[in-house]
Amino acid sequence: MNDNILDPASQANLGVVSATCVSKVELRVCCKHLLDRDTLNKSDPCVVLLMQSQGQWVEVDRSEVIRSNLNPVFAKVFMVDYYFEEVQKLRFEVYDIHGHSGLGTHDDDFLGGMECTVGQIVAQKRVSKPLFLKYGKSAGKSTMTVTSEEISGDNGFVELFFRAKKLDDKDLFSKSDPFLEIYRINDDGSEQLVHRTEFVKNNLSPIWEPFKVSLNSLCSCEEKRKLRCVVFDYDSRGKHDFIGEFYTTFEEMQKATGGNKIQWDCMNPKYKLKKRNYRNSGVVILLDLKIHRVYSFLDYIMGGCQIHFTVAIDFTASNGDPRNSCSLHYINPYQPNEYLKALVAVGEICQDYDSDKKFSALGFGARIPPNYEVSHDFAINFSAEDDECEGIQGVVESYQSCLPKIQLYGPTNVAPIITKVAKVAANEEKTQEASASPTALAKCVLAEVPKQVVEYYSSKALPPRGPQGSTPGSALNSPQ
């Protein structure tokens, strides 16, 4: 148990990681031989995931609570960003939850924890470690296993809506309390829990809440991968009764679109062997399936998305006299100044995504001819009709021509330009003052471009343009 944990409200003060995320990783957790803290029943475990940031443990997420179970397999999937160049320390803590009051605060509620790094889990795919209590005390035979899976680039998610009818009654004085579990069958024959629904109390024809899972989790983005679906009768003591099972694939599930439904016989193999007239233990029906493609930056670019590149140059006096070598606007006949370096570093990349290669180049904070009044929104080519320059070289030439003609002044007022550009651009990214090389600055700025493009179109539910497949067989390969 770690006492130095920050709650989510305190996490903002830690800043953000500036490195580029290599990939996103899904982590799944199961435990064995947990300590039993309850007198009448078994422990009700919950896993809390923490990540170390600037020397402090920050809570990332937590799992569901599994009632009365010392060997829990958690359905919760933890999502983490993987940075190859960093040591990302993780800590998994297991707590025994009492009632609905949330995590306990007493040591008696702590069942053990273990530490590892994201790199270790990614490299080994599966990490198993013993759990330890506070002050390094052993938690007996308690162990935790964490498995990892990288999310593929063509990943999306699927929304499933299940119900069942005429399930077997497993309870003596009432009806069954059924819930559904879906398992993905891996290449080595092992099974991975994908999702566990809520249980529906006292109902032989339950309707479960719709749920979403990533295509990567469900079938590793392979439509023909086999899935095992199991229905249990929930028991508060953790001794769930098996009702039946069936096998399917995501390819088969996709028939439940456009108002169609698909159903499977829920089979109990023991009953099938023993009972000659056995038909099934009920049926499970997929009422609806919706595929949600998670589009990438390349999807939008290949669909014809254009990036309009606008330059706003700070000509305030705070930059220093251009005749002084300490000025960011220093006119050096032998090498470009800091502004030119940044312009070229960013512009040369952005121009590849702009078909007409014309860039708006604006300035603010200077006295401009002919009357030398202060302007906070002027075209550096001094054209009243067209502020665009031909390519990044045109921007450079306009800047070099403009600088000797103006007087650096102030104050720093970029609002007029932002208002102007906002008519074209949906978002304006705010950056903190930083010291970095132009190339590094370009990489930081450009690394945000794909994210901003995707978030903008996603917020408006706009898919990329271009031929889109709509047949079930192409669901994993074409934006829907």
Rounded Cα gap, residues 351 and 218, in angstroms: 39
Q: Are residues 326 and 449 both part of a single domain?
A: yes
Q: Report residue 273 as tokens.
A: 């062997």
Distance CA 434, CA 268 (A): 65
107 φ, ψ (degrees, to nearest 5): -60, -30
pLDDT at 437: 47
Q: Is residue 412 domain-resident? A: yes
- 435 domain-assigned: yes
Among 292, 324, 341, which residue terminates a domain? 292
Q: What is the pLDDT of residue 334?
A: 85
Q: Which of 268, 292, 316 is the last residue of a domain?
A: 292
Minimal CA–CA distance to 63: which of 37, 13, 97?
97
Question: Is 399 a domain residue?
Answer: yes
Q: What SS3 string covers 413-444?
A: CCHHHHHHHHCCCCCCCCCCCCCCCHHHHHHH
Tell me: do 162 and 226 sit in the same domain. Answer: yes
What local confidence, expressed as pLDDT, does residue 323 receive?
87
Residuewise pLDDT in 10s, the chain (480 residues): 655 555 544 443 333 333 445 678 999 999 999 999 877 788 999 999 999 988 899 999 999 999 999 999 999 999 998 887 788 999 999 999 886 655 555 555 899 999 999 989 988 889 999 999 988 899 999 999 999 988 765 568 899 999 999 999 987 788 999 999 999 999 999 999 999 999 999 999 999 999 999 998 999 889 999 999 999 999 988 899 999 999 999 999 999 988 899 999 999 999 999 888 999 999 999 999 999 887 766 667 667 777 778 899 999 999 998 888 888 998 888 889 989 988 888 888 777 777 788 889 999 999 999 999 999 999 999 998 899 999 999 999 999 999 999 999 999 898 888 888 877 655 433 333 334 444 544 444 455 556 656 666 677 677 776 544 333 333 444 333
Write down the pLDDT at residue 454: 65
Domain count of the fold of the chain: 3
Domain containing residue 255 = 157-292
Identify whether 1 is part of a domain: no
Closest-CA residue to 475 (of 149, 193, 224, 226): 224
Same-domain status, 146 and 161: no
Q: Does the residue 465 lie in any domain? A: no
CA 294 to each of CA 25, 99, 117, 244, 391: distance values in angstroms, whole numbers, following the listed order? 15, 37, 27, 34, 32
Domain boundary among 150, 170, 187: 150
Distance CA 238, CA 199 (A): 13
